[in-house]
């Protein structure tokens, strides 16, 4: 049995339901869930410090870039209604994606600061999405300190991140590539070392890599960003990018002996299997 998890990062105040639907409608029409990494209160002045010239985060629409303020997800009621309905239908898992999604926020070693951001982020998402239990954390930019990982463990979160964050915590399963493993009896770690669909790659290359990942792995985490299909904030998706994506989604849905699941559903099933075994 092959397992596929679809993960999308950067849903925020700036996300319209139409853009999510343009990418994920085929999965939802087939009853398949998507794990959405949701930013509680996105900061509009975030820059990407690992890219030359430190550009603004491409997930922020051009008209807002550089503003010294945060935009809470609750101020986009159309999006909240849309996602609550999907969550109630089991078609999205709402995952906590930092607090303001600033580049450095979760690499802090200050436990009190990490705890405050988690408290605030959870409080906002719980108000915005009463239909959605929030059980999974995805670090902004996949950058997270050992202190923050320990705090997430203490709080009971499942975690999806890249393998390079794991070495300082030898008590965690040292996974790499695409993999899931138990951190303890209740919490799962989901490692995803390649964003298969990325706007920096040609869509044909994204599709080739995604097909290969699906063929080679018992578990594949297909991570993407809905905004990349519109990059740079076009009204309509890039035709070649969305065609490659739709081809892959169609193939994933048609695979025999496979299941598309969410992080928390996968964790619940693993826990049940372990309890029975």
Contacts to Zn ion by CB under 5 A: 9-10, 140
Smallest distance from Zn ion to CB 232, Å:
17
Q: In the complex with Zn ion, which residue's Cβ is closer, 58 or 214?
A: 58
User: In this structure, are residues 71 and 14 in contact, taking their beta carbons and an 8 Å threshold?
Assistant: yes
- At 142 the three-state DSSP class reads helix
Taking the complex as a whole, how short is the minimal distance between the CB of residue 195 and Zn ion, in angstroms?
10
Contacts of 39 (CB under 8 A, 6+ apart): 10, 11, 12, 13, 73, 97, 98, 99, 100, 101, 140
Query: Please, what is the minimum distance in Å from the beta carbon of residue 140 to Zn ion?
Result: 5
Query: CB of residue 132 vs Zn ion: minimum separation in angstroms?
Result: 18
Helices 239-254 and 17-29, axial angle in degrees (round to 10): 30
Q: What is the smallest separation between the CB atom of 128 and Zn ion, expressed in angstroms? A: 17
Q: At closest approach, how far in Å is the CB of 49 from Zn ion? A: 14
Residue closer to Zn ion, measured from CB, 57 or 214: 57
Tell me whether residue 214 or residue 225 sits nearer to Zn ion (CB atom).
225
65 Rama sector, left if φ>0, alpha if ψ -120 to 50, beta otherwise:
beta
Q: What is the DSSP letter of 56?
A: B
- Is the separation of the CB atoms in 221 and 5 below 8 Å? yes
- Spatial neighbors of 51 by CB under 8 A, at least 6 apart, are none
Residue placing its CB nearer to Zn ion in the complex, 206 or 223? 223
37/172 with CB nearer Zn ion: 37
Question: Closest residue (Cβ) to Zn ion?
Answer: 9
- Output phi, psi for 258, to 5 deg: -140, 160
- Select 9 or 151, whichever has its Cβ closest to Zn ion: 9
User: In the complex with Zn ion, which residue's Cβ is closer, 140 or 237?
Assistant: 140
Q: For the packed helices 17-29 and 77-88, what is the interaxial angle rounded to 10 degrees?
A: 10
**What is the closest distance, in whole angstroms, from the C-beta atom of residue 9 to Zn ion in the complex?**
4
Residue 254: Cβ within 10 Å count: 9
Query: Do the Cβ atoms of 73 and 128 come closer than 8 Å?
Result: yes
Taken as a whole, the chain contains a residue count of 277
């Amino acid at each position: 049995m092959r397992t596929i998890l679809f993960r999308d990062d950067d849903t925020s105040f700036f996300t319209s339901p139409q853009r999510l639907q343009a990418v994920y409608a085929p999965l939802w029409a087939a009853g398949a869930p998507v794990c959405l990494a949701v930013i509680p209160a996105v900061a509009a002045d975030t820059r990407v410090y690992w890219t030359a010239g430190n550009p603004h985060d491409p997930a922020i629409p051009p008209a807002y870039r550089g503003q010294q303020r945060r935009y809470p997800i609750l101020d986009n009621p159309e999006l909240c209604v849309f996602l609550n309905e999907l969550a109630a239908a089991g078609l999205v898992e709402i995952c906590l994606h930092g607090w303001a999604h600033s580049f450095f926020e979760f690499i802090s070693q200050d436990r009190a600061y990490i705890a405050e951001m988690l408290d605030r982020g959870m409080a906002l998402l719980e108000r915005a999405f009463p239909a959605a239990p929030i059980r999974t954390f995805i670090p902004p930019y996949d950058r997270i300190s050992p202190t923050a990982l320990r705090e997430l463990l203490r709080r009971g979160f499942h975690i999806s991140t890249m393998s390079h964050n794991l070495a300082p915590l030898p008590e965690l399963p040292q996974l790499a590539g695409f993999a899931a493993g138990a951190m303890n009896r209740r919490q799962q770690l989901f490692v995803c070392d390649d964003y298969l669909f990325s706007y920096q790659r040609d869509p044909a290359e994204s599709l080739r890599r995604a097909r290969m990942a699906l063929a080679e792995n018992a578990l594949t985490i297909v991570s993407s960003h809905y905004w990349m299909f519109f990059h740079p904030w076009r009204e309509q998706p890039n035709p070649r990018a969305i065609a490659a994506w739709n081809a892959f989604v169609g193939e994933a849905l048609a695979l025999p002996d496979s299941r598309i699941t969410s992080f928390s559903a996968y964790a619940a099933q693993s826990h049940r299997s372990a309890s029975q075994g």
